[in-house]
């Protein structure tokens, strides 16, 4: 009950902040106009964001491969894209549920499917933290401070150590016991000897999730570029701000798809560097770009699966 109330408080508070900021700057936001070239850039931003989701779907198959479960890549990319829009449903878990069910249909064990679903967002969050550690100093006046650079290096080492099998496998072991403790398969002896574990550091999937975040950040930067000219030295600031806002929207409960949390964070971070109207306008535009890209991805995956089904039926 408390968790449900907390989720609604977080969602309500962030949406109130966004609504109040929009109200206070409504005249400036309403004065924003997008030229034909701007619409073309928005189309490119949508394409890059769609590419980011396709890429993330491919990385999920890499995660399964790390768990010794090679899968048909095309089919699992389709599953990922089709379930992606379900993250906007209350609870923010239905996209994970859909992927677990699809993996079970492909004869992957429930344990393996669930661990892949645990690992994939953990890798995403870690990728975001890496970018935040490397670029977060852009938000402070101490970005050239030696002590800060030392702290950044230590934080980066600590984050990267999380996925060292010696540290990560006990966490996976605990998660599996917690998830399946009521099932017959989770006999205590079986869990002790046969729990699923990583055999090596998941370096390639981690680089894959870093690429995903950079693609998403590029989509946001292009969206802002539609409204205001940007300088090369502003790009690290924007990528760091995007990653921080995305991370909070990703990990804070009560915000399906990061809705509200992402917007409130990015607006707060950019207001000191851009006029409030531009921060608000770019954030609203990017949410529309993101939803459109996810919807296109789901639609393309559905059409591709239907085409494949008809092709099999006509043989």
Question: φ, ψ for residue 161 (rounded to 5)?
Answer: -70, -20
Q: What local confidence, expressed as pLDDT, does residue 151 receive?
A: 80
What secondary structure letter does DSSP report for 42?
A: H
Contacts of 57 (CB under 8 A, 6+ apart): 76, 77, 79, 80, 81, 84
Over its length of 315 residues, how does the chain's per-residue pLDDT go in tens digits? Answer: 555 555 555 556 555 555 665 565 555 555 567 888 889 999 999 999 999 999 999 999 999 998 888 888 999 999 999 988 888 776 667 788 888 888 888 888 888 888 888 889 889 999 999 998 888 776 665 566 677 778 878 888 888 888 888 888 887 777 666 655 544 444 444 444 456 678 888 899 999 999 999 999 999 999 999 998 999 989 999 999 999 999 988 887 666 666 778 888 898 888 888 888 888 888 889 988 988 999 999 999 989 888 877 777 776
Q: What local confidence, expressed as pLDDT, does residue 305 receive?
A: 82
Q: What local confidence, expressed as pLDDT, does residue 26 receive?
A: 54
Q: Which residues of 76-101 are buried (b: 16+ CB within 10 A; e: fewer)?
A: bbbbbbbbbbbbeeeebebbbebbbe
Q: What local confidence, expressed as pLDDT, does residue 43 receive?
A: 94
CA distance 55 to 53: 5
Cβ–Cβ contacts within 10 Å for residue 19, how many?
A: 11
Q: What local confidence, expressed as pLDDT, does residue 235 receive?
A: 93
Contacts of 81 (CB under 8 A, 6+ apart): 53, 54, 57, 294, 297, 298, 300, 301
CA distance 219 to 60: 21
Degrees (nearest 5) of the Cα angle 160, 79, 127? 15
Q: Which residues of 150-180 are buried (b: 16+ CB within 10 A; e: fewer)?
A: eebeebeeebeeebeeeebeeebeebbeeeb
Q: Are 273 and 18 in contact (CB under 8 A)?
A: no
Cβ–Cβ contacts within 10 Å for residue 33, how many?
A: 7
Question: CA 209 → CA 47, 106, 122, 127, 276, distances in Å?
Answer: 18, 24, 10, 6, 31
CA distance 237 to 144: 14
Q: What local confidence, expressed as pLDDT, does residue 191 receive?
A: 41
Q: What local confidence, expressed as pLDDT, does residue 308 receive?
A: 79
65: its two tokens: 């491969």
């Amino acid at each position: 009950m408390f968790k449900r109330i907390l989720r609604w408080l977080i969602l309500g508070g962030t949406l109130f902040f966004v609504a109040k900021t929009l109200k206070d700057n409504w005249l400036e936001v309403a004065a924003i106009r997008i030229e034909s070239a701007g619409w073309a850039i928005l189309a490119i931003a949508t394409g890059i964001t769609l590419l980011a989701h396709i890429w993330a779907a491919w990385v999920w198959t890499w995660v399964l491969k790390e768990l010794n479960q090679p899968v048909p890549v095309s089919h699992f990319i389709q599953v990922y894209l089709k379930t992606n829009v379900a993250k906007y449903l209350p609870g923010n878990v239905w996209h994970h549920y859909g992927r677990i069910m699809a993996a079970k249909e492909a004869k992957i064990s429930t344990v393996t499917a669930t661990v892949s679903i645990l690992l994939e967002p953990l890798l995403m969050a870690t990728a975001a933290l890496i970018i935040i550690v490397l670029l977060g100093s852009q938000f402070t006046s101490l970005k050239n401070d030696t002590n800060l650079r030392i702290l950044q290096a230590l934080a980066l080492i600590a984050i990267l150590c999380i996925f060292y099998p010696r540290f990560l496998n006990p966490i996976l072991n605990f998660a599996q016991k917690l998830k399946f403790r009521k099932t017959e398969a989770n006999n205590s002896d079986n869990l002790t000897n046969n729990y699923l574990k990583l055999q090596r550091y998941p370096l390639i999937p981690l680089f894959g999730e870093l690429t995903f975040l950079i693609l998403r950040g590029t989509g946001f930067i292009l969206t802002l570029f539609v409204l205001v000219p940007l300088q090369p030295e502003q790009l690290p600031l924007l990528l760091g701000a995007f990653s921080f806002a995305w991370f909070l929207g990703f990990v804070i409960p009560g915000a399906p798809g990061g809705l509200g949390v992402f917007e409130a964070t990015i607006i707060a971070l950019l207001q000191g560097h851009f006029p409030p109207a531009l921060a608000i306008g770019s954030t609203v535009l990017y949410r529309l770009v993101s939803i459109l890209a996810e919807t296109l991805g789901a639609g393309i995956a559905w059409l591709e699966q239907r085409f494949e089904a008809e092709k099999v039926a006509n043989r």
